[in-house]
Structure formats: structure tokens, C-alpha cells
Amino acid sequence: MSQNNNNNNGPVPGPNSPTNTKPDDSNLTEEILKKGGKGKDEVEKMGKIDRADEVVEESFDAKFRTANSPVHRAVWDKTPIELFRANDVTGAAPTYFQAMDQCVAIVVRHRLAGTLFGDDQKVTATVMQELAEAGYWGMLIDKKYGGQGVTITHFMQFLTRMAAEGDPTVAGMASIHGCIGAVDPMCAYGTEAQKDYFLPRLASGKAISAFALTEPGAGSDLTALKTTAVLDGDSYVVNGRKLFISNILPGRTIGLVCLIDGKPAVLIVELPEVENENFKLDRYGIHAVKHIHNYGMVFNNLRVPAKNLLVPPVGDGLTIAYHGLNRGRVALCANAGGTMRVLLKSMLPWAEYRETYGDKIGNRELVRWRVARVASLIVGADALVDWCSSLLDEGYRGELECIVAKIFGSESLKETAVDWALKTHGGRAFLQGHLIGDNIHDFIAPCIYEGEGQMLAMAFFKSLVKEPGKKYMGPLANMNDKFPAVLVDGIRFLPAITRMGLWLAGLQLKRSDRRRVAGMDKNLARHFAFGLKQFKSLGRQIAAAMIKYKFKLADRQMRMNELSMDVQRVVTMLAVCMHAHKKGDAVTTLAADILCQDLKREIIGGRKDDAYYMACSKLAKMVVAGNFRQLDGVAESTILRQYKEPIQK
């Protein structure tokens, strides 16, 4: 894949951008929901969300849209196996690696010195400033505006490294600022005048940013926004509330999603340097993200220059909000991959130190399996991060692929922390000062952030069936009830249902893809072949569900979730096989094999056999021996409340 300017993916309006256009009023989602008996309010709101999504979709070149994405093509057409390989970024030798090294070194130095967090348990102003001077906040901003111009691939790999070697909170702040904060909206939708003013400030760290979307009554329902901005002369007057916004303090810069003339819009707001009658923070206690400033905001006639309004070529503020979400989802997986490294690294010395019944717990099959399982999850997260990043660098929207990364990363981090690291450390994990006890909420919070997992799984399913729905559900939704039926094999069918049945029959006749990847490890090759076969099977199952439930499909949320997750498991298998094949080392290959075995069982059932557990023990021994190079440079943890007497010299 060729190196792209990662700030230019999607629409980039300029001073002479076309005026905002209104999509066609007809909407298949609304028609299907009406036929399914949904109320007027739900129909209108879901239609609004769907239109915003279509606008984002149409802003990409046709070959990079969801219908031409690797996942969509794999389910409905021939699997584009070449697109499941994360290719290296090509082009001139990057000059930003030195800045990345310096940023990691800054965080490591302060962490070891105990000066990373202040008395308020937030990242100190000193650390923030040192990172700014090293170029940390400008990683995703073009060099012409004072940034580093980092590719998405290298940025995401950097986040994993920062989380693993430095600190996950600091890594999270960079992803908020660069992916879902003000940086992405400004890079993608700002005019040249807006970019000239804001991007140098965002790159230098003078303007640390956040994205203010969530409201007390508007979480996943983005149509329930109530914050308003009313034009008054050359300013907008803002009133309303926001909630659960990370990275905010007085004086910072936010992308504010609000209603202007009843439609969602985005204003870039430079918050006042101090709280006043127009702007106040709504402070509350929160268990997660305790090292980041996370508050609500109250706006009371806050004036914002009208020139700060972002105007996309088509669509509205929801279009802008959706644009950066995919980067944010990959960043979450990247951070999770780094954090799982820290958790795994903490398990190893404890497993060596802790003894039960005269032997180290690290010699027990149970603990070895836990170590192997976490190592395999790390390889899975790395594979999805590299794959999704390369697609985004190439120019793909990546809607389906990035959802896979987000769900896998967040669920794997929760599993690692709660099921394996916590249980291995035992009661000491709840001590103050322990890695797990002090950060347990941060380990489970990603399951909610960037979209709750099961909700995203349904969104994945809906995106996957949208194009087939237009072809087969559309005629059914718009058909007159008195339209004459036709006779097929003695059974009366309405024409649209007949068309859907023939479509399903066509899918059933398609042969499974039997292509291979030259030189791939034999175990990985078997998993790869299984995945290709499953794509065709799942395509048939999804089509059958569409025919069976028709307009009531939206009410079968758990059926959508089951099918969605099976597709995601197969996607992960292919990406992991390609990743391990590219890496080529025995440890990564074994970890990938173990993960694929687990994913396969989740799809078709079955028990783990002795060969599987033997493979896990082998992998665990390789990890303990230092052969799992993914742990190189990872932060060490301390064993608390040691019970063994020190050796007398």
C-alpha cells in the first residue's frame, strides 16, 4: 500500500466548498422501520442517523466505501485475501521516530521518579509541557502546520508502545486529542484559514483538545442533542450541557457538537481560561479515567466566533462526528494491546515468586494457559491494529474493520485484567498501589467508550446488510400490498420475496474459496481455509435471517449480535493469520494458532483437546524465557506484601 497523507482521508472542504446539500428524502431505513411497526419518533431519528452515515460514505471514493471494503466483499463476494494483509507504509524514511522515542523517554522518566501524576492524580502540567516540546500533540498534524505528519499506521503502533513502555493514560490522551478531539475535524473539514489558525496551536500543545458530543440524555442516541448555538452578529451564543468529556479544562479547545437552526453542527470552541458565568465545569467523581480530566460542561450564553463553524461539503455535524470515530476505535485497540502487555509482564514475576503446595504457580498448567491466552490476545490486537491502520492509510473508510478492532481490543483487555491477571495475582490485586487494584475501572471502561460493544456489533451487522437490503428489502418495503403474487414450485410468493429467495439460492450455490497464501505455516493455513469457508456460510445465514424476519429484523437484536460476532471472529482469524505469517517468528505463529483455535471453537463449538493445552504450555514457557518479543521494553511492576524472608548474606 502506498503512503497517504493521513489527514486527507475523506472530504476536505476549502473556502470555495460547495454548499451543504440535502440528501434525498426517501430512506430505506425509514421505510423498513415503518413496515416493522416502529413509532414515528424512532423512524425519524433512525432515518436521520442513516442519512448522516450515507453522507460520510459518499464522501469517500467508491472503491474505499463500505460496500468495497474487505469484510463486505468477503461475506457477499469473493474474499479479497490480499486486503487482509497489513502492508508496510512506503515512501520517504520517516523522520518522526526520534520524536516518538523522546516522548516515551519523558513518560518513563517521570513514571520511575513518581512525578507523572500530581496530588490530584492527573498528569502534571510539567509532563504535558515536556511532551509538547517533544512534538507529542502534533503527531497526526501535517508538517506544514508544525506537526509530525505521522502515518496512521505508525501513530497506532506508537500508541501501543506508549501504553506498554510509558503509560496507558498518556497514550489515551494522544488518541483523544488526535483522533476524536479537534485535530481530526479540523484536518478533515477546516477551511485553510481555520487550519492556519488552529492546527499550529493544536500541534504545539498550546491547545489540547477534546470532542464534546455526549449529553446527559444523548449517549448512543445522537439525535437527542439539546445544546444549541444561535447566531448573533458575528458570534454564536451557546447554551446547554455536556457530560463525560475527557481532556477538558478551562483554556482547552473542543469540537462542540450542538444544534444550529435545529440541525447538528460542530463549532471549534476555545474555552475561557477560567470558569465564569458563561462556562463552568460540572465536576463529579468518576472511577474510570481517573488520571484524565473528565467532567461535564455547562454553557450559559457562551459566545463563540461564527468563523469557528465547521461546514462539511455535504451533511451536518453528525457527518463530522462520525468521521473520526474509526480512528478512535483503532486507537482504543492499540492502547489495549499495550496495556495487556503491562498486565502480562506483571503476571510473570508473580508466577515465578508465588508458591503453592511446594511448587511455583508458574509451573501449573492453569497459569501457563492464562499466560498463553493473554499472549494470543496481544497478537490478535496487534494484528487488527496494523491491518485497520493500513486500510485507513490507503484511504478506506474502514467502518466494519475498525468496529472489529474496537470490540476485540476492549473485550480482550477486560478479559485479561479481570479473568487472568486478577485471578493470577489473587488477593494482592486489591491492595492499594497494585497495578490491577488501582486501575481496574480503566481496564473495563473501553467496553463502553467509542461505542458499547453489543451496540457496535449491531451497527456492524446493519452496515453489512445495508447494500443487500437496498436490492432485496427495498422492493419489498415499497411494494403495494395488492401487487399480484407469482407461483414458484407450486408456492405463491410476492415478487420481492421471490427475488430474495433466488438471491439466497444463488449464495448457496457459491463454492467456498480455496485459495492459499504461499509459505504460510500449516496450522495457520488450516485456520485461513476455515475462515474463507465460513465467510460463505455466514453470508448464507445472514441472507436467510433477512428473508425470515424481513421488517422485524431490527427487533431481533440478539440474532444480529450472534451473526455479527461470528463474522468478526472470522475476520480476526484472517487478519491474525496474515499478521503472524508476515512476522514469521515461531512465538507469534504459535500465539496466532492458539487464538485461532479459540475463535474457531467460539464459532462452531467443541472442547479444547490435549494438543491445545500442550501448545499453550509451550507458548507460556517461551514467553517466560523472554522469546515473546512483544514484551520488550514493557514497564515492570512490583510484588507487594512479599511473604518470603530475604536471603541472609
Q: pLDDT of 348-376, one tens digit each?
A: 999 999 999 999 999 999 999 999 999 99
For residues 334 and 476, state if they share a domain: no
Residue 433 region, left (φ>0) first, then alpha (ψ -120 to 50), else beta?
A: left
Highest mean pLDDT among 87-91, 131-135, 452-456, 499-503: 131-135
For residues 255 and 134, state if they share a domain: yes
CATH number at residue 409: 1.20.140.10
Query: pLDDT at residue 647 above 80?
Result: no
Number of domains observed in the structure of the chain? 3
Answer yes or no: is 217 within a domain: yes
Answer yes or no: is 285 within a domain: yes
- Strand partners of residue 298: 241, 280
Answer yes or no: is 623 within a domain: no
Final residue before a domain boundary, out of 430, 452, 474 = 452
For residues 335 and 441, state if they share a domain: yes
Answer yes or no: is 636 within a domain: no
For residues 502 and 447, state if they share a domain: no
For residues 352 and 403, state if they share a domain: yes
For residues 148 and 274, state if they share a domain: yes
pLDDT score for 187: 96
Q: What is the pLDDT of residues 207-250, one digit of tens each?
A: 999 999 999 987 767 778 999 999 999 999 999 999 999 999 99
Mean pLDDT of 407-417: 98
Answer yes or no: is 81 within a domain: no
Answer yes or no: is 80 within a domain: no
For residues 118 and 184, state if they share a domain: yes
Answer yes or no: is 18 within a domain: no
Q: What is the pLDDT of residues 159-210, one digit of tens each?
A: 999 999 999 999 999 999 999 899 999 999 999 999 999 999 999 999 999 9
For residues 441 and 468, state if they share a domain: no
In this structure, how many other beta carbons lie within 10 angstroms of the beta carbon of residue 269? 24
Q: What is the pLDDT of residues 50-77, one digit of tens each?
A: 887 888 888 889 999 999 999 999 999 8
Final residue before a domain boundary, out of 320, 336, 357 = 320
5 — pLDDT class (breaks 50, 70, 90): very low
For residues 507 and 579, state if they share a domain: yes
pLDDT score for 495: 61
Mean pLDDT of 602-628: 97
Residue 69 CA to chain centroid, in angstroms?
Answer: 17
Final residue before a domain boundary, out of 320, 353, 383 = 320
Of residues 319, 325, 335, the one with CA closest to residue 179: 325
For residues 220 and 191, state if they share a domain: yes
CATH number at residue 251: 2.40.110.10
Give the whole-angstrom CA distance, residue 628 versus residue 313: 48
Give the whole-angstrom CA distance, residue 400 versus residue 15: 32
C-alpha angle with apex 194: 190 to 199, nearest 5 degrees?
Answer: 90
For residues 298 and 418, state if they share a domain: no
Rg (C-alpha) for the chain, rounded Å, is 26
Range of the domain at 204: 97-320
Answer yes or no: is 27 within a domain: no
Q: For 90-224, where are the alpha helices, taking DSSP H only?
A: 97-113, 125-133, 152-161, 168-175, 183-189, 192-204
pLDDT score for 335: 98
